[in-house]
Copies of this chain bind each other. A is one copy, B any other.
Amino acid sequence: MPDPLDFQSIMMALQDFWAAQGCLIWQPYYTQVGAGTMNPATFLRVLGPEPWNVAYVEPSIRPDDGRYGENPNRMQMHYQFQVILKPDPGNPQELYLKSLQALGIDPRQHDLRFVEDNWEAPALGAWGLGWEVWLDGQEITQFTYFQQAGGFVLDPVSVEITYGLDRIAIALQRVHGFQEIRWNTPGSDSTGLSGLTAGEVNLQAEQEHSRYYFEVGDIERLKNMYQLFEAEANNALEHGLVLPAYDYLLKCSHTFNVLDTRGAIGVTERQAFFARMRELSRRVAGAYLEQRQRLEYPWLDENRGAGEQANSGANEKTQSLSGQLTDPADLLFEIGTEELPAGDLDGALAQLEQRLPALLSELRLEHGPLRVMGTPRRLVVSVDDLAPRQPDLEQLVKGPPASRAFDSLGQPTPAAEGFARSKGVALADLQLQEVDGGRYAVALMRTAGRPAGEVLAEAIPGLIASLRFDKSMRWNSSNAAFSRPIRWLLALLGDRVIPFEYAGLVSGNTSRGLRFSRWEEFSVNNPQEYSSCLAEQGFLLDVSHRRQRIAEQVGRLAVEVGGAVPEDQGLLAEVANLVEVPAGLLGSFDPQHLDLPGEVLSSVMKKHQRYFPVERDGKLLPYFIAISNHGDGNLIDERELVREGNEHVIRARFADAAFFIEEDLKKPLQAYLPDLGTLVFQGQLGSMLDKTHRIYHLVEDLSGMLGLTLEQSRVAVRAAELAKADLVTKMVVEMTSLQGVMGRVYALHFGEPEEVGTAIFEHYLPRFTGDVPPRTLPGLAVGLADRLDTLSGLFAAGLAPSGARDPFGQRRAALGLVSNLIAWDLNFDVRQALGMAADRLPIAASEESRRACLAFVGERLRHLLLERGYRYDVVEAVLAEQADNPAAAQRAVQELAAWVQRSDWNRILPAYARCVRITRDFQERFAVDPAVFEEPSEKELYAALQTAGAAGRQAGLVDDFLNAFLPLIPAINRFFDQVLVMVEVEAVRKNRLGLLQRVAALADGVADLSKLEGF
């Protein structure tokens, strides 16, 4: 094996490769940029209709990635290699993979993956969809289909390929970090110094610039620079100078980054900066577009060769094998895509499962079993025994009334003629029929059944087009939208191709297997052959099969090191959608890293790397399990390079976490509080610091309501003070999911009591559906206060969620509030608590907003109870009386649910109902005077009521109410048998109504039984 390329040879090899692909070789930009994207050779050239192919190195400066040279692969300057292909050449992934081979990366020795990553540059008004490309778990490239830049929709779309050269070199040279990268190679006969490493060349720069960015840069001066740059950008724009303006925008951006790293930018300020830069970039982009238009798009000249090669010829050999089938045949339909995001794969499969049967039925095609399957690179539909053609169809179509269709002589009128003509039937074929009780002229329309292939060829494009995704993209001139580009379409009915075109592709019988295998592209003659080909490659087309396989492998590998992997269905589901042929791999890391908080390690492994952490007795072991995509899919992945690569990555990731934590620990948690002042909660409601103050006081208010001891109250108040401080720490800014976790860690580090730390952590509980509730009262109290403030505040500010929009997460807040109270089974007056919260707001909360807020919480409670499976009417009945007290409502619902199941319920409810029905229209509460009773049954009922009333009842309890009510039933029944309530004499009548009102009132505060079925 030849020596791996040195660093400079990697750069030169990429230049050579892309130059040979017709790319213009460009140079790094002459002002600091965070990425090659910001070089005008990308940002401006992707705008407008002209083609553009370019490749260049870009040493990219990201101040906040500075690590003083101490992280293996995170540096304030990293080397990118940037490629822009505009328009999409149709095979950019393949070109990219070839370029890796040109670097000496043997894809068979490695795990190469395209992992969803949607790119957005808010300062540039730019976004795109694509992937991180992973080499053995390491992100080595960002691959993006640019959709928008400077706020302009891009047409054509550009493919952007951004190589991380340092990481590629680390992987290729199998070294442990950027410092060890061999930059050049001592030649046999070369003179002078050589054989240098990147560390020798750049370590000093990393150290110095990190210090400058984190510690030394003068904030005031940097802010002044920003202002000057911005003013000059505007000055240049006013004179119509696009490039000078853009240069200054870039300088703004870099200066902003330095300020940010320096810790000088509050969150509100950040948004303002971004808005200003976005506006500038929009104006620059607009000016550039105008300029090119004025120049009449010189590069559109068709003699310039090239232009979009579309995908013509991609399926050149595929000819329609269509023809008439006479027997049922299997249908196979495969949409071949570039790697779909895990969520989009699930979404597409669900939509196909729903729509396909309906479609086939609409198409009148009989069929046998139907399966919808998929992997990241394909959506597959398989239908057994599809009818070879539609049955013929006869339809009667109603025309004009008989009286208007035929004249008195029975001759067809012009109306009848028009109707027949419009339906395409002969006048003679019109008949008269009774329809809906009238007599009409009707046309009998016969539609001959068409061959299934023909019908499907027409229908399938619509089916593909109907699939919806959270984010869709365009990629070629067809402007078709999909989750990711569609690259091939296989459609077979039996051994015939179903011929159609979509997104610039022609359907055929060609599929693609694992890359770099002999199956890279293959043809099949029929659905069965397709299945067996994929099976032979180890594909598990069915998502659930993949999950199962992965779970098995993960389990086996964990056992090998004496551990186990805690269940995580979310991770499992995601990972199963990232591979076509899963192969688990056990990696290890330095046990020293176990010094980091376990939640941090787990979060890093799961969120960043999609690894399964391995535990023993609830404690992490220094291992992880990664799932790679592997041709020998049934085996555990034994490729040494793959493991080594993954282990390198996690080492760097952990080092980075350690860096953040180390930085964060430079001051106590308390000291972060002032920074909260720069973090806006919401415009009218102030900063997170303001919110913290409110929570703090609210916790004091709630202590009594929640029955906290003095000690618990002290803990809760301190926790409230610190609860939000970690939001401005570096670790949490990097991984928001660690909020609360880091708060606890940092609090304890600086000597806060264990209970305070716990409450800080717990106040976020539950974090997601199925998460645990807080297990301490202080934690509960702080969380309640936080949510009460959020809800009452946002409603007071007029920001109630509407429709599906819930940008502030109020649904989650309300649900957490309700579910915690239920979990703790704590009586709690939500109305009162919201009122207290509202009274502490910096703005006035109108009565209406208070009502709306309370109703909103009640609504969450309703959903929660319904989700728990309670009958709708039971929930309604209880909530009518107890919506303000979720725990009580839950209790009541539970009890009532049992009552309505009782066999004697049909005796109980009617008795109560009689009392209610006769009284409910009276607003007035009538007095009851025993002296006015005339009938014995009146007196009996009154006495029974007295007894029931005397029984000890706990407020809101259904059991207490109904148990008290049960004895009244005979008296009620007798009363109604024997007594006429609505007598003439007013005093008697009101006395009787008053008595029944009192019976009905027994349910006050418990439930409104009138909401129940059968009432």
Contact = CB atoms under 8 A, between A and B. Distances in A.
B31 A306 contact: no
Contact of A52 (B24, B193, B241, B306): B193
Nearest to A33: B30
Interface stretch (A7-15, A469-477, A837-845, A862-870): A7-15
A239 B307 CA distance: 54
A191 to B, nearest CB: 5
Interface in A260-305: 291, 298-299, 304-305
A563 interface: no
Contact of A192 (B12, B23, B208, B244): B23
A12 to B, nearest CB: 6
A623 to B, nearest CB: 38
Nearest to A187: B22
Nearest to A201: B24
Contact of A216 (B24, B184, B239, B309): B239
A11 B25 contact: yes
A32 to B, nearest CB: 5
B221 A231 contact: yes
Given A216-B244, A242-B208, A186 B32 contact: no
A457 interface: no
Given A192-B89, A304-B193, A19 B184 contact: yes
Interface in A51-94: 51-53, 57, 59, 61, 77, 79, 85-87, 89
A232 B208 contact: no
Given A22-B186, A190-B306, A193-B299, 8 more contacts: A27-B28, A27-B59, A51-B192, A193-B305, A193-B306, A211-B239, A212-B244, A218-B231
A193 B51 CA distance: 6
5 contacts: A12-B12, A22-B184, A30-B30, A30-B61, A209-B243
Interface in A186-237: 186-187, 190-196, 200-201, 204-205, 208-209, 211-212, 215-218, 221-222, 224-225, 228-229, 231-232, 235-236
B244 A232 contact: no
Nearest to A202: B243
Given A193-B306, A239-B211, A244-B212, A183 B218 contact: no
Interface string A382-404: 00000000000000000000000
A212 B61 CA distance: 26
A466 interface: no
Given A85-B192, A224-B228, A306-B193, A31 B28 contact: no
Residue of A228, A307, A309 most packed against chain B (CB within 10 A):
A228
A653 to B, nearest CB: 27
Contacts of A201: 24
Contact of A53 (B30, B77, B85, B191): B191
A228 B220 CA distance: 10
A50 interface: yes
B25 A28 contact: no
A53 B12 contact: no
Interface of A: 8-9, 11-12, 15-16, 19-25, 27-33, 50-53, 57, 59, 61, 77, 79, 85-87, 89, 183-184, 186-187, 190-196, 200-201, 204-205, 208-209, 211-212, 215-218, 221-222, 224-225, 228-229, 231-232, 235-236, 239, 241-244, 291, 298-299, 304-307, 309
Given A217-B232, A231-B218, A191 B306 contact: yes
A114 B194 CA distance: 29
Contacts of A52: 192-193
A824 to B, nearest CB: 54
A29 B30 contact: yes
A28 B57 CA distance: 9
Contacts of A21: 190-192
A94 to B, nearest CB: 12
A57 B57 CA distance: 11
A22 B244 contact: no
A838 to B, nearest CB: 48
A716 B242 CA distance: 50
A24 B231 contact: no
Contact of A31 (B30, B77, B218, B243): B30
B27 A30 contact: no
B195 A304 contact: yes
A99 to B, nearest CB: 14
Contact of A191 (B16, B22, B241): B22
A848 to B, nearest CB: 52
Contacts of A231: 218, 221
Contacts of A304: 193-195
Given A16-B12, A22-B194, A194-B305, A208 B241 contact: yes
A760 to B, nearest CB: 36
A204 B242 CA distance: 9
Nearest to A57: B27
Contacts of A222: 232
Contacts of A183: 24
Contacts of A192: 21-23, 51-53, 85-87, 89, 306-307
B20 A190 contact: yes
A31 B59 CA distance: 11
Nearest to A60: B30
B53 A194 contact: yes
Contacts of A217: 232, 235
Contacts of A11: 25
Closest 4 A-B residue pairs measured CB to CB? Answer: A22-B190, A53-B192, A8-B25, A51-B193
Contacts of A51: 192-193
Residue of A22, A201, A215, A307 most packed against chain B (CB within 10 A):
A22
A221 B232 contact: yes
B235 A218 contact: yes
A61 B30 CA distance: 9
Given A212-B236, A228-B228, A236-B216, A193 B19 contact: no
B212 A241 contact: yes
Contacts of A309: 191
A19 B8 contact: yes
Contacts of A86: 192
A24 B79 CA distance: 15
A766 to B, nearest CB: 47
A419 B155 CA distance: 103
Contacts of A33: 30
A341 B521 CA distance: 68
A697 B9 CA distance: 71
A208 B24 CA distance: 22
A241 B204 CA distance: 9
Contacts of A187: 20, 22
A305 B186 contact: yes
Contacts of A87: 192
Contacts of A211: 239, 241, 244
Contacts of A9: 19
Contacts of A15: 8, 12, 15
